[in-house]
Amino acid sequence: MEPVKDKEGIYLYCIIRNTGPVDFGPIGIGNRTDKVYTINYKDICMVVSQSGSMRYEARRVNLTAHQLVLEAVMKSFSILPIRFSTISGSYDESKILSILEKEYDKFSELLTKMSGKKELGLKVMAVEEPIFKYILEKYDDIRLLKEKLAKLDPDKAHYQLMKIGEMVEKALVKENSKFSDNIISLLTPLSEEVKINDKYGERMILNAAFLIKDENEAEFDKAILAFDEQYGNLLTFKYVGSLPPYNFVNLVINTQEG
Q: Whole-angstrom Cα distance, residue 240 to residue 236?
A: 13
* pLDDT recorded at residue 159: 65
CA nearest neighbour of 51 among 77, 25, 32, 76: 32
Q: Which residues contact 121 (CB under 8 A, 6 or more apart)?
A: 208, 209, 210, 238, 239, 240, 241, 243
Q: Which residues contact 227 (CB under 8 A, 6 or more apart)?
A: 183, 186, 235, 237
pLDDT tens for each residue of 143-173 = 787 777 666 666 666 666 677 778 888 888 8
pLDDT tens for each residue of 106-150 = 999 999 999 999 999 999 999 988 988 888 888 888 778 777 766
pLDDT tens for each residue of 15-35 = 999 999 999 999 999 888 899
Q: Whole-angstrom Cα distance, residue 162 to residue 99?
A: 61
Cβ atoms of 10 and 97 within 8 Å: the answer is no
- Please give the model's pTM, rounded to 2 decimal places: 0.82
Cβ atoms of 250 and 83 within 8 Å: the answer is yes
Distance set, CA 215 to CA 122, 166, 178, 224, 237 (Å): 19, 46, 29, 16, 22
| pLDDT confidence band for 1 (50 / 70 / 90) | very low
pLDDT of 94 above 90: yes
* pLDDT recorded at residue 151: 67
Q: Which residues contact 44 (CB under 8 A, 6 or more apart)?
A: 15, 16, 17, 18, 100, 104, 107, 108, 111
Distance set, CA 194 to CA 11, 12, 250 (Å): 30, 27, 15
Distance of CA 183 to the CA centre of its chain: 18
Distance set, CA 32 to CA 35, 51, 84, 131, 151 (Å): 9, 8, 18, 49, 69
